Amino acid sequence: MLAYLARRLAAAAVVVVLVSIIAFGIVSVLPGDTAAALLGEEGARDATRYEALRVELGLDQPIPVRYANWVAGVVTGDLGQSMRTGEDIGPGILARALPTVQLAIMAIIISVVIAIPVGVISAVYYRRLPDNVGTLFALTAIATPGFWFGIMLILLFSVTLRWLPPSGYLPFFSNPIGSLQLMIMPALALATGFTGVLIRQVRSSVLEVLNEDYITTARSKGLSPTTVLFGHALRNALLPVVTLIGLQIGGLFGGAATVETVFSIPGLGRLAVDSIFFRDFTMIQALMLVLALTVLVASLLTDLVYSRIDPRIRRG
């Protein structure tokens, strides 16, 4: 296990270095000028103010120097300061991370609760009515944009029925009920596409396992269909599902950008949108790095869980 973990950590370190180079490179070649965006159209015409602000922001330095300075700060835990607000990026990201993490966790829970029963039923009733309904539901969920579904939820549950508040955020530990009321619609909207993908994966995995020889042997022994399904098939069928959940973490954080904007949630997604709009390059770089680290950690934890379930992975 330790050797396997060491290999995974070494690979993750290489990925982090590559992501840092890509993040800094992409941001550096983006069109637009942060100094001009901060000064506005009138202020940018003042050459003295414009050049002074570029020097203050470090934009006058060569790209390799700016990258080296940025990496040196990141290694020591200093992600820099926002070009737009001047606040320290680390505490700012941490404060915005809590709403996004809550949103992602709720979306994953909703997806798993819906996808596993629907996927299993579709596989058991292969090519029959329940399978057709489940497949239609999955494809519809995949094709439905999360932001559009979120707007429809607001119109139904907030405007028409007046059951839920339309937008906003409350910390979970300060007001659990109010927080859940505010987050249930965004979580449903964020979970839409992931739920459809997960249903298809569960269905495919269960169908594959049900055709294995050991399942045929279990049936020949006279075991009930329920025992065969839940006692023998489902555990092995869910192995690829665990991997899929880990790989979809990045997609959930990406989808959170539009969902958080629709529901006015002060999370990382909305912070990324605002940073791109105002050309806050230091914040964009830090967010890309944090997202990459989040995906790597999720992937590593998924692999460790997978290796515990299937020891053959550790020997690979």
58-94 pLDDT, tens digit per residue, is: 777 887 888 888 888 888 888 877 877 778 888 889 8
Q: Which residue has the tokens 């997960």?
A: 198
Which residues partner with 81 through β-bridges?
A: 88
Q: How many domains does the chain have?
A: 2
- Residue numbers in the chain where pLDDT is lower than 70: 1, 4, 27-34, 37-38, 40-44, 307-316
**Same domain, residue pair 299 and 250:** yes
Residue 47: C-alpha distances to residues 20, 41, 83, 118, 140 (Å) = 32, 12, 19, 63, 54
Same domain, 172 and 298: yes
Q: How far apart are the first and last CA of the chain?
A: 11
Residues 57 and 192 in one domain: no
> Under a CB-based contact definition with an 8 Å cutoff, are residues 98 and 264 in contact?
no
145 and 242 assigned to the same domain: yes
220 belongs to a structural domain: yes
* 189 domain-assigned: yes
Token reading at 134: 């489940």
Domain extent at residue 69: 2-75
- State the pLDDT at residue 298: 80
What CATH number did the domain enclosing 206 receive? 1.10.3720.10
Nearest to 269 by CA among 259, 257, 261, 252: 257
- Domain boundary (75, 100, 116) is at 75
For the stretch 110-161, pLDDT in tens is 999 999 999 999 999 999 999 999 999 999 999 999 989 999 999 999 999 9
| Residue 288 and residue 188 share a domain | yes
**Is residue 138 located within the same domain as residue 98?**
yes
Same domain flag for 17 and 159: no
By the 8 A CB rule, do 245 and 201 touch?
A: no
Last residue of a domain, which of 10, 41, 75?
75
- Strand residues in the chain grouped as ranges (E): none
Residues 119 and 266 grouped into a single domain:
yes
Same domain, 198 and 275: yes
